[in-house]
Amino acid sequence: MAIGNGVKKIFASVGTHSQPFDRLLKELDIVAAKHSEWKIFGQTGNSNYKPKNFAFKKFVKGKEFDEKMQWADIVLSHGGAGTIINAFLNKKPLIIVPRLKKFGEHTNDHQLDLAKALEKKNKAKTVFDTRELEKQILQAFSFKPELSSDKENLIKRISLFLEEET
Protein backbone atom coordinates (compact mmCIF):
# COMPACT_ATOMS: atom_id res chain seq x y z
CA MET A 1 0.00 0.00 0.00
CA ALA A 2 2.99 2.28 0.08
CA ILE A 3 3.05 4.91 -2.61
CA GLY A 4 5.88 6.49 -4.53
CA ASN A 5 8.18 7.62 -1.76
CA GLY A 6 6.95 4.98 0.69
CA VAL A 7 4.74 7.31 2.73
CA LYS A 8 1.78 5.48 4.18
CA LYS A 9 -1.45 7.39 4.73
CA ILE A 10 -4.09 6.71 7.36
CA PHE A 11 -7.52 8.25 7.60
CA ALA A 12 -9.02 7.86 11.07
CA SER A 13 -12.69 8.59 11.69
CA VAL A 14 -14.53 8.46 15.00
CA GLY A 15 -17.86 9.47 13.48
CA THR A 16 -20.38 12.01 14.71
CA HIS A 17 -21.77 10.27 17.80
CA SER A 18 -22.31 12.68 20.71
CA GLN A 19 -20.04 10.82 23.16
CA PRO A 20 -16.25 11.30 22.90
CA PHE A 21 -13.84 8.62 21.68
CA ASP A 22 -10.70 9.91 23.39
CA ARG A 23 -9.38 6.38 24.05
CA LEU A 24 -8.76 5.80 20.34
CA LEU A 25 -7.39 9.28 19.63
CA LYS A 26 -4.92 9.17 22.54
CA GLU A 27 -3.50 5.82 21.43
CA LEU A 28 -3.32 6.91 17.79
CA ASP A 29 -1.43 10.02 18.92
CA ILE A 30 1.12 7.81 20.74
CA VAL A 31 1.51 5.64 17.64
CA ALA A 32 1.81 8.71 15.38
CA ALA A 33 4.66 10.05 17.53
CA LYS A 34 6.57 6.80 16.89
CA HIS A 35 5.88 6.79 13.14
CA SER A 36 6.62 10.21 11.69
CA GLU A 37 6.98 8.49 8.31
CA TRP A 38 3.19 8.02 8.24
CA LYS A 39 0.73 10.72 7.22
CA ILE A 40 -2.31 10.56 9.48
CA PHE A 41 -5.46 12.61 9.30
CA GLY A 42 -8.14 12.24 11.94
CA GLN A 43 -11.78 13.22 12.09
CA THR A 44 -12.19 13.65 15.86
CA GLY A 45 -15.92 14.34 16.14
CA ASN A 46 -17.21 15.17 19.61
CA SER A 47 -14.07 13.95 21.36
CA ASN A 48 -12.29 16.12 23.90
CA TYR A 49 -8.75 14.98 23.12
CA LYS A 50 -6.75 17.14 20.71
CA PRO A 51 -4.01 15.15 18.90
CA LYS A 52 -0.49 16.57 18.93
CA ASN A 53 1.15 14.30 16.38
CA PHE A 54 -1.29 14.19 13.47
CA ALA A 55 -3.55 16.56 11.57
CA PHE A 56 -7.22 16.55 12.48
CA LYS A 57 -10.55 18.24 12.09
CA LYS A 58 -13.65 17.81 14.28
CA PHE A 59 -16.02 17.00 11.43
CA VAL A 60 -15.32 15.98 7.85
CA LYS A 61 -18.35 15.69 5.60
CA GLY A 62 -19.36 15.13 1.99
CA LYS A 63 -16.73 15.75 -0.65
CA GLU A 64 -13.96 16.30 1.91
CA PHE A 65 -14.78 12.96 3.58
CA ASP A 66 -14.70 11.22 0.18
CA GLU A 67 -11.35 12.83 -0.64
CA LYS A 68 -9.82 11.70 2.67
CA MET A 69 -11.16 8.19 2.10
CA GLN A 70 -9.63 8.03 -1.39
CA TRP A 71 -6.35 9.57 -0.17
CA ALA A 72 -5.80 6.94 2.51
CA ASP A 73 -3.94 3.66 2.20
CA ILE A 74 -5.87 2.33 5.19
CA VAL A 75 -8.91 3.48 7.14
CA LEU A 76 -9.11 3.41 10.92
CA SER A 77 -12.70 3.65 12.10
CA HIS A 78 -15.05 3.43 15.02
CA GLY A 79 -17.66 0.72 14.48
CA GLY A 80 -20.09 3.00 12.66
CA ALA A 81 -21.75 1.68 9.53
CA GLY A 82 -21.22 4.86 7.46
CA THR A 83 -17.43 4.86 7.61
CA ILE A 84 -17.28 1.07 7.29
CA ILE A 85 -19.42 1.07 4.14
CA ASN A 86 -17.36 3.90 2.64
CA ALA A 87 -14.14 1.99 3.29
CA PHE A 88 -15.61 -1.08 1.58
CA LEU A 89 -16.85 0.94 -1.40
CA ASN A 90 -13.37 2.47 -1.77
CA LYS A 91 -11.73 -0.96 -1.34
CA LYS A 92 -9.61 0.24 1.58
CA PRO A 93 -8.12 -2.03 4.21
CA LEU A 94 -10.09 -1.26 7.35
CA ILE A 95 -9.28 -1.37 11.05
CA ILE A 96 -12.30 -1.11 13.35
CA VAL A 97 -11.95 0.07 16.93
CA PRO A 98 -15.46 -0.27 18.36
CA ARG A 99 -16.76 2.31 20.80
CA LEU A 100 -17.53 0.59 24.09
CA LYS A 101 -20.24 1.32 26.63
CA LYS A 102 -17.95 0.60 29.61
CA PHE A 103 -15.74 3.58 28.61
CA GLY A 104 -18.72 5.91 28.08
CA GLU A 105 -18.12 5.94 24.32
CA HIS A 106 -21.60 4.73 23.36
CA THR A 107 -24.93 3.79 24.90
CA ASN A 108 -24.49 0.06 24.13
CA ASP A 109 -21.98 -2.34 22.55
CA HIS A 110 -23.52 -2.81 19.11
CA GLN A 111 -20.26 -1.63 17.49
CA LEU A 112 -18.46 -4.51 19.19
CA ASP A 113 -20.86 -7.02 17.63
CA LEU A 114 -20.44 -5.51 14.17
CA ALA A 115 -16.64 -5.45 14.47
CA LYS A 116 -16.52 -9.10 15.54
CA ALA A 117 -18.77 -10.16 12.65
CA LEU A 118 -16.67 -8.30 10.06
CA GLU A 119 -13.42 -9.67 11.46
CA LYS A 120 -14.81 -13.21 11.37
CA LYS A 121 -15.61 -12.77 7.65
CA ASN A 122 -12.09 -11.33 7.01
CA LYS A 123 -13.56 -8.02 5.89
CA ALA A 124 -11.73 -5.91 8.49
CA LYS A 125 -9.11 -6.00 11.20
CA THR A 126 -10.25 -5.14 14.70
CA VAL A 127 -8.73 -3.60 17.78
CA PHE A 128 -10.45 -4.45 21.05
CA ASP A 129 -7.51 -3.32 23.21
CA THR A 130 -6.05 0.00 22.00
CA ARG A 131 -2.56 -1.16 23.06
CA GLU A 132 -2.77 -3.39 19.96
CA LEU A 133 -3.40 -0.45 17.61
CA GLU A 134 0.15 -0.05 16.29
CA LYS A 135 0.44 -3.80 15.60
CA GLN A 136 -2.86 -3.85 13.72
CA ILE A 137 -1.93 -0.78 11.65
CA LEU A 138 1.35 -2.42 10.62
CA GLN A 139 -0.55 -5.57 9.60
CA ALA A 140 -3.26 -3.59 7.80
CA PHE A 141 -0.82 -2.17 5.25
CA SER A 142 -0.60 -5.65 3.71
CA PHE A 143 -4.12 -6.82 4.64
CA LYS A 144 -6.29 -8.00 1.75
CA PRO A 145 -9.91 -7.79 2.96
CA GLU A 146 -12.60 -10.09 1.62
CA LEU A 147 -14.75 -7.48 -0.09
CA SER A 148 -17.19 -9.64 -1.99
CA SER A 149 -20.63 -9.98 -0.50
CA ASP A 150 -22.39 -13.23 0.32
CA LYS A 151 -24.82 -12.47 -2.51
CA GLU A 152 -21.94 -12.21 -5.00
CA ASN A 153 -20.49 -15.50 -3.74
CA LEU A 154 -23.84 -17.21 -4.13
CA ILE A 155 -24.17 -15.92 -7.71
CA LYS A 156 -20.64 -17.18 -8.49
CA ARG A 157 -21.42 -20.63 -7.06
CA ILE A 158 -24.66 -20.88 -9.01
CA SER A 159 -22.92 -19.76 -12.23
CA LEU A 160 -20.17 -22.34 -11.79
CA PHE A 161 -22.77 -25.02 -11.16
CA LEU A 162 -24.70 -24.05 -14.30
CA GLU A 163 -21.50 -24.05 -16.38
CA GLU A 164 -20.68 -27.57 -15.17
CA GLU A 165 -24.15 -28.77 -16.13
CA THR A 166 -23.93 -27.59 -19.76
25 found inside a domain: yes
Confidence of residue 6 (pLDDT cuts 50, 70, 90): confident
- Asked whether residue 98 is assigned to any structural domain, the reply reads yes
Residue 145: what pLDDT?
Answer: 87
Whole-number pLDDT of residue 3:
40
80-136 pLDDT per residue, tens: 988 999 999 999 999 999 999 998 899 998 899 999 999 999 999 999 999 999 999
Average model confidence (pLDDT) for the chain?
A: 89
How many domains in the chain?
1
Asked, for residue 1, whether it belongs to a domain, the answer is no
Instruction: Check residue 156 and give its pLDDT.
Output: 63
Residue 110: inside a domain, yes or no?
yes
Query: Considering the domain boundaries, does residue 157 fall inside one?
Result: yes
pTM, two decimal places: 0.85
For residues 38-56, average pLDDT: 98
Secondary structure, 3-state, the chain = CCECCCEEEEEEECCCCCCCCHHHHHHHHHHHHHCCCEEEEEECCCCCCCCCCCEEECCCCHHHHHHHHHHCCEEEECCCHHHHHHHHHCCCCEEECCCCHHHCCCCCCHHHHHHHHHHHCCCCEECCCHHHHHHHHHHHCCCCCCCCCHHHHHHHHHHHHHHHHC
pLDDT band at 13 (very low <50, low <70, confident <90, very high): very high
pLDDT at 90: 93
Q: Is residue 3 domain-resident?
A: no
On whether residue 101 sits in a domain, the answer given is yes
Q: Which domain holds residue 18?
A: 8-165
Report the CATH number that the domain containing residue 108 is assigned in CATH: 3.40.50.2000
Asked if residue 2 belongs to a domain, the reply is no
